[in-house]
């Protein structure tokens, strides 16, 4: 009877060991996934906030050019740098944001030299900026 008890205890011990090992592996896997997800979210958030700042600086550049007729602060070179930065950072965020940034770059390429004297050119660029901002907001809201 003592041998029977030992075999039974041994089965329980093995079962508990296997279950414990499964929980440990599952816990480690979840922890690894969560850390990767957190790192991704941090990267997306940081890039999105930098894009938001660059958009504000681009708008400031456009306002200086259009409303203040300030050739220094409204220089198209500054605008090109901001548009390029926006496009490069958008790759880190989301494909829809990347597409919206490319559309902004295309609109800027087509109309940068007309924004001071053509309201439609200015409206086109502002529309692309608004579209990009909307996509950024959606992505930031979707992060967990």
Domain range for 136: 2-142
| Residue 62: C-alpha distances to residues 2, 43, 89, 91, 143 (Å) | 89, 28, 20, 24, 31
Cα–Cα dist 87/82, whole Å = 9
Tokens coding 143: 């992060």
CATH code of the domain containing 105: 1.20.120
Cα–Cα nearest to 135, from 105, 110, 109, 103? 103
Cα–Cα dist 72/126, whole Å = 21
Q: Digits of tens for pLDDT over the chain (144 positions)? A: 555 668 888 889 889 999 999 999 999 899 988 888 899 999 999 999 999 999 999 999 999 999 999 999 999 999 999 999 999 999 999 999 999 999 999 999 999 999 999 999 999 999 999 999 999 999 999 997
What does the DSSP 8-state code read for residue 94? -
Domain total of the chain:
1
Burial of 61 (0-12, 13-18, 19+ CB in 10 A): buried
Cα–Cα dist 24/75, whole Å = 59
Cα–Cα nearest to 114, from 126, 105, 122, 106? 122
Q: What is the pTM of this model?
A: 0.81
């Amino acid at each position: 009877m003592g041998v029977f008890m030992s075999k039974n205890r041994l089965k329980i011990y093995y079962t508990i060991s296997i279950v414990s090992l499964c929980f440990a592996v599952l816990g480690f896997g979840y922890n690894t996934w969560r850390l990767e997800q957190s790192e991704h979210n941090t990267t997306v958030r940081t890039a999105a906030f930098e894009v938001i700042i660059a958009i504000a600086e681009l708008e400031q550049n456009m306002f200086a050019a259009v409303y203040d007729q300030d050739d220094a602060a409204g220089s198209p070179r500054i605008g090109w740098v901001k548009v390029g930065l926006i496009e490069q950072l958008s790759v880190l965020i989301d494909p829809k944001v990347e597409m919206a940034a490319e559309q902004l770059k295309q609109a800027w390429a087509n109309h940068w030299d007309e924004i001071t004297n053509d309201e439609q050119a200015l409206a086109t660029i502002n529309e692309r900026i608004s579209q990009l901002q909307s996509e950024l907001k959606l992505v930031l809201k979707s992060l967990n």
